[in-house]
Structure 1
């Protein structure tokens, strides 16, 4: 079949299917007996809610960033037939949009700290899921869990953490210091979580193995499992670039401090708007090339190195900042994470220069920062030593950068983009948009116990650093 004919046929089928859904949704005024009927359904990309919305929660009828009385009005208009049904208008997730959804939405809006109610949403696997309110305590993992709790005012609800939080980040908060360990993200101790009487377990990143088991083990005990995080995933093939959406939903669904959450969102949006606006002024030949490594010769003895590639979350964000991400374009780097030898790395570097990029930024993305498991000064220097053994006439001019993984895998990810622009295009961003200034703002504005950050010795150079080597 001709490709154009095939595409038209597919569009026609999708259009008929969408029309069928609309009729089913609007054609019934049934009871509330089917609440949550669509839980577990996977939402196809063609059926996503408004992609600009940061709150993919059922009941957000007008699909903006908040659930409020404007949604009640919008939903009433849908039921009356004066507005078209949206994906999130089905507040009680029973597969229909009718007057029962208006009633259910009013319960969501009017919920208190003790209201018992199931709230439905689309998770990071694009499946319909539910969380049971009230949420009194939570368990979470990894740096992404820590920093997301901080910006949403939820740190005080954390009752259990994984071993990485207990070892590296618990020092940032009294509640985290007193939390019980649940093991690791990839092998959580389900018995401990059940014994802890946790309301909701939120892994810090999606893991293809553990995420299958966690609901099976915890749901029967009345514990919800929420796949809603700010981190790249393990064994999961799609990126997680819409970190801001994960943060707002994390705050809302777990009944956090929404004033603080929207304060973060405003700060985030201001930075992202500045970055994207200025990045749009760059011509293609003004963009700098970037390659990101995830380990280093200083401690890898096998000669096999991890290099980020196609649709890696960090590279998508680098693209937003006006960077030419080599991993998005080179055939050797076709996976999220790619294992390359030194010779293969030289080939990528030679090809990048041949493609017209005479300067290249190499950023090593390591467990430095507050985790402090690696030292960027050491790892970056080892990359320079390895790369200089390539054919100098074929190599681009190399510039070396370092970044802590917790910076790109958390609500701090907007600083990663600012860092690239500050280093590659000094002066392009307006005054006040310097990565070190904004890093301090993040801590001052969103740390629950700032004195503990100060005591931990937070050092900007262990999070972001540009090297002259």
Structure 2
């Protein structure tokens, strides 16, 4: 996760903000909702706009003073687990809005490196990554597109066999296949051994229903984060790309 010069909170190098649907009901199917509560779904975006900035610090101060009420939504603490209620004012996503969240958002505004950032992912799960994200492994065409849009092609170190090994999408994404990248095989079941000697900062992936649901635990020993965003999902990819381009 990186913040651009305008202090826009983003999840990948160059300007990509997380944009996902938020469900305000108790329905277990959290991720299917198209009821948007702000376009930037990073915990710490207390006022539910497109930025992490001093306005979010002020929002949390007002909540702690009892002057404002936080906005809550439904999400999962783990994939296919029980539904939990959270607010983006709860920066560390622990279920309580307090002084710790206030300090964490201030650290986000100050772009403090090495901090863990929480976000609502494509499956409605509270996920996290370490700021800043630098080098990437990427699979699937919509994810390649997202990195092209934000100008982050040169941050990619690992590619899937759709693009690598002269795959079916190579002709469209040949700029990802260069002397700095290696092919990790299937985008659904990556060969993580390829990455072990020089792990990327993060893997840009998709829903656990299709892309290795155990990816997070498998690459954790490598010190690698997994960022799952909805660049393919209907009614979610367009606002994601719009925010990426902001």
Aligned to 1:125: 123
Partner residue of 1:65 out of 50, 54, 76: 50
Aligned to 2:193: 191
Partner residue of 1:200 out of 195, 199, 202: 202
Aligned to 1:211: 212
Question: Is residue 243 from structure 1 mapped to residue 237 from structure 2 by the alignment?
Answer: yes
CA RMSD of aligned residues (A): 2.5
Change in 2 beyond 3 A, CA 1:46/1:193: farther
Kindly state the Cα deviation for residue 169 of structure 1 after the two structures are TM-superposed.
3.9
Tell me, in whole angstroms, the C-alpha distance in 1 between the residues paired with 2:170 and 2:204.
Answer: 17
Report if the CA contact (8 A) 2:163-2:176 is conserved. no
Tell me, in whole angstroms, the C-alpha distance in 2 between the residues paired with 1:141 and 1:222.
Answer: 19
Report if the CA contact (8 A) 1:53-1:245 is conserved. no
Kindly state the Cα deviation for residue 209 of structure 1 after the two structures are TM-superposed.
5.4
Report if the CA contact (8 A) 2:153-2:175 is conserved. no
Tell me, in whole angstroms, the C-alpha distance in 1 between the residues paired with 2:153 and 2:212.
Answer: 23
Report if the CA contact (8 A) 1:183-1:189 is conserved. yes
Deviations 1:96-118 (A, max 9, x none): 10122111001111116xx1110
Report if the CA contact (8 A) 2:163-2:173 is conserved. no
Partner residue of 1:150 out of 133, 148, 151: 148
Which has more helix, going by share of residues? 1
Tell me, in whole angstroms, the C-alpha distance in 1 between the residues paired with 2:43 and 2:196.
Answer: 28
Tell me, in whole angstroms, the C-alpha distance in 2 between the residues paired with 1:245 and 1:193.
Answer: 32
Change in 2 beyond 3 A, CA 1:89/1:187: same
Kindly state the Cα deviation for residue 45 of structure 1 after the two structures are TM-superposed.
4.5
Aligned to 1:342: none
Change in 2 beyond 3 A, CA 1:225/1:248: farther
Tell me, in whole angstroms, the C-alpha distance in 2 between the residues paired with 1:57 and 1:118.
Answer: 11
Listed as ranges, the matches of 1:161-176 within 5 Å are 161-166=159-164, 167=167, 168-169=169-170, 172=173, 174-176=175-177
Change in 2 beyond 3 A, CA 1:88/1:144: same
Tell me, in whole angstroms, the C-alpha distance in 1 between the residues paired with 2:208 and 2:90.
Answer: 29
Aligned to 1:46: 25
Question: Is residue 134 from structure 1 mapped to residue 154 from structure 2 by the alignment?
Answer: no
Aligned to 2:223: 222
Report if the CA contact (8 A) 1:229-1:246 is conserved. yes
| Bigger Cα Rg | 1
Tell me, in whole angstroms, the C-alpha distance in 1 between the residues paired with 2:141 and 2:220.
Answer: 25
Name the structure, 1 or 2, with higher relative contact order (CA <8 Å, separation 6+).
2
Deviations 1:54-102 (A, max 9, x none): 1110000011111111111111111111000131000122211012211
Kindly state the Cα deviation for residue 195 of structure 1 after the two structures are TM-superposed.
2.8
Kindly state the Cα deviation for residue 145 of structure 1 after the two structures are TM-superposed.
1.4
Structure 2-normalised TM-score?
A: 0.72
List gaps (5 residues or longer) in structure 2: 1-21, 72-86
Change in 2 beyond 3 A, CA 1:93/1:52: closer
Kindly state the Cα deviation for residue 245 of structure 1 after the two structures are TM-superposed.
4.6
Runs of 4+ residues deviating >3 angstroms: 47-50, 169-176, 244-249
Tell me, in whole angstroms, the C-alpha distance in 1 between the residues paired with 2:110 and 2:154.
Answer: 23
Tell me, in whole angstroms, the C-alpha distance in 1 between the residues paired with 2:147 and 2:177.
Answer: 11
Kindly state the Cα deviation for residue 174 of structure 1 after the two structures are TM-superposed.
4.3
Tell me, in whole angstroms, the C-alpha distance in 1 between the residues paired with 2:237 and 2:136.
Answer: 20
Aligned to 1:92: 92
Kindly state the Cα deviation for residue 246 of structure 1 after the two structures are TM-superposed.
3.9
Kindly state the Cα deviation for residue 148 of structure 1 after the two structures are TM-superposed.
0.3
List gaps (5 residues or longer) in structure 1: 1-42, 233-239, 252-260, 263-469
Report if the CA contact (8 A) 2:230-2:236 is conserved. no
Aligned length: 200
Kindly state the Cα deviation for residue 141 of structure 1 after the two structures are TM-superposed.
0.9
